[in-house]
Structure 1
């Protein structure tokens, strides 16, 4: 009996120190920033399924009377609640920058012939070429900041030196800016489904969304992947939240959100986040 007791004690000690050793190794492989956000993820875990109803953004009137701090709290709470389930999430593009999370579930997976709009290239076509390999789509890429003339890049990839905006104009940098509707008209896509719209345009996303959503220009877009810079740019936080609420009203549901751990960190939140949505009203 005494030997059995000693054996049990020995096993318990072994398990304890083994776990501590493994945990220590894990800690050593993580950066301080990653450890911090792992702890935050545990603290901000979603509630139980029966309690995780969609969190709704307040009305424009209510938002207008709130402070910057309140806007940030609403934004953080909203984007951290996944609103629909995608069972097959695939990452398209290279890691750390330029990649987007796409839903490859049967209902939403792009299939040739399909169309992808990719706004914001910065001389990196990794997302675009990988999207062709994965889905066989035609990919139309846009970036006015690149010193490149509009041209065909490959069999399925085209580049245009246009920028996306809430109006058709030439800005002070000489960039040709167009609305989504104008671009679709120019490319002959007015009556065609856009399977994926990827947007990485450095704060110009809010100006563009506030024009295109009420105009109905996203109604036949099946997936929307956007790098969102909250409380940055010339659009105030309440209007940015209004854009997110309008997306919801048009059928777009968040299925994935990635934070940028190296930029836009403010206290316990990140203001720069990758948000991926699917349009549940368009099949």
Structure 2
């Protein structure tokens, strides 16, 4: 009988045969997936210890590689300083319009162009054919992008939190903070925008934020009511030293505030305090340099208000940050300030990672408490 069917309907028989083979293969494969110990599809047993060891090796290699690149940037800085100094005292923070690496302000009758003046070169970019008066700000080519580039690589993902305008910040490794059981965030300079703090809370499970700003009465309405319990606010200012008890507004050093709150670490430190950052960070960092202990925070989101600060002074301050273990992984000028004031980009955002000590970004194995470890 089967032979008769084959002879009468050969095409039908071939299709039926293919269907039977395919069905058998699917059933075998399905059973193998359900049973990891099957011989066809064997998936080795997951070993958390092996995974942790691999992560340890990986994070150490990534940090070492980034440090190697950063040391190259330090050599390049010295070479640039020799070229435009050679002493730091000889370098102008924001050169005049007629100096190298500046954008000129000019009036043109037939063609609107941006003229970029560089040593022995002149470039023009045509923008149109109507008569206009064009004014551009002087970018910090020498100051920011060349002398102090964000030459370090965050070993994890880099993500922007908050508004894309003034107030948002670039964060390294938010995924490392998502389930950190005792995640601590300090935010200095709240003003009227809390979109950064709001997004940080909504993207983490346990992070709590301590906010400080004597110019406002609390966080803005950007933070949902459901997340307010994870915030703490005081109308204090950040300074290098504590003010007198009767002072108004009250000013405290970062270490004093950490002592008040009972904190021994900060996972993310955001500072935007209109120029006070230089004194505050200098007074904070110096004791750690003397003791050799690592800074108490894992990363720093900082807006620098350089304004009229001399290059040589800023260089010394910046090198202090580097000596303490801070490495910039992101930078951008405050374009809102530049556009509004038509001034130099003396307000610049920087994000740093702290490569020294045991913190959430240099410790890949597990959270601070072993019983809360989550293996991925």
Question: Which bracket does the TM-score occupy, shorter chain normalised?
Answer: 0.5 to 0.7
Contact 1:231 1:237 in 2 (8 A): no
- Superposed CA deviations along residues 112-150 of structure 1, whole A, max 9, x for unmatched, are 32100000000322222221121230100000111459x
2:74 is paired with a residue whose SS is coil
Equivalent residues of 2:177, 2:204 under 8 A apart = no
Could you tell me which of 192, 199, 215 is aligned with 2:287?
A: 215
Residue pairs, 1:81-230, within 5 angstroms: 81-104=150-173, 111-136=180-205, 137-147=207-217, 154-169=228-243, 174-189=248-263, 192-216=264-288, 219-230=295-306
Matches of 1:224 and 1:119 in 2, distance apart?
11
Secondary structure (helix, strand or coil) at the match of 2:197 reads helix
Instruction: Report the TM-score when normalising by structure 2.
Output: 0.52
* Shift, 1:86, TM fit: 4.1
**What whole-Å deviation, never above 9, does each CA across 1:135-177 have from its counterpart, x for those lacking one?**
230100000111459xx98211111110001111169992111
Give the distance between the partners of 1:275 and 1:50, measured in 2 at CA: 18
> What's 1:68 paired with?
92
Q: Distance in 1 between matches of 2:298 and 2:274?
A: 22
> What is the CA-CA distance between 1:223 and the residue it aligns to?
0.4
Higher relative contact order (CA 8 A, sep 6+): 1
**What CA deviation, in whole Å up to 9, does each residue of 1:7-30 have, x standing for no partner?**
xxxxxxxxxxxxxxxxxxxxxxxx
Classify 1:203/1:218 alpha carbon distance in 2 versus 1 (closer, same or farther; 3 Å). farther
How far, CA to CA, are the matches of 1:76 and 1:101 in structure 2? 17
Is residue 245 of structure 1 aligned with residue 245 of structure 2?
no
Q: For 1:54, what is the secondary structure of its paired residue?
A: helix
What RMSD over aligned residues (CA atoms) do the two structures have, in Å?
3.7
In the alignment, the residues of structure 2 paired with residue 109 and residue 218 of structure 1 have an alpha-carbon distance, to the nearest angstrom, of 23
Question: Which residue does the alignment assign to 2:3?
Answer: none
1:262 aligns to what SS in structure 2? helix
* In structure 1, C-alpha distance between the alignment counterparts of 2:267 and 2:69, rounded to whole Å: 32
Residues 270, 148 of structure 1: alpha-carbon distance in 2 compared, 3 angstrom cutoff: closer
Kindly indicate whether the alpha-carbon contact (under 8 Å) linking 2:91 and 2:312 is maintained by their aligned counterparts in 1: no
Q: Which residue of 1 aligns with 2:73?
A: 54
Give, in angstroms, the shift of residue 106 of structure 1. Answer: 6.3
TM-superposed deviation, 1:236: 4.6
Count residues with an aligned counterpart: 227
Match of 1:18 in 2: none
Where does structure 2 lack aligned partners over 5 or more consecutive residues?
Answer: 1-67, 82-86, 96-139, 220-224, 363-376
Q: Which runs of 5+ in 1 are unaligned?
A: 1-48
> How far did 1:268 drift?
11
Q: Shift of the alpha carbon at 1:75?
A: 4.2
C-alpha separation between the residues in 1 aligned to 2:171 and 2:218? 28
Whether the aligned pair in 2 keeps the contact of 1:90 and 1:103 (CA below 8 Å) is yes
- The answer to whether the Cα contact below 8 Å between 1:54 and 1:81 also exists between their aligned partners in 2 is no
Q: TM-score, normalised by structure 1?
A: 0.68
What SS does the corresponding residue of 2:298 show, helix, strand or coil? Answer: strand
Give a deviation string over 1:232-265, Cα, whole Å, max 9, x none. 4xx6543332221111111111111122223248
Larger Rg: 2
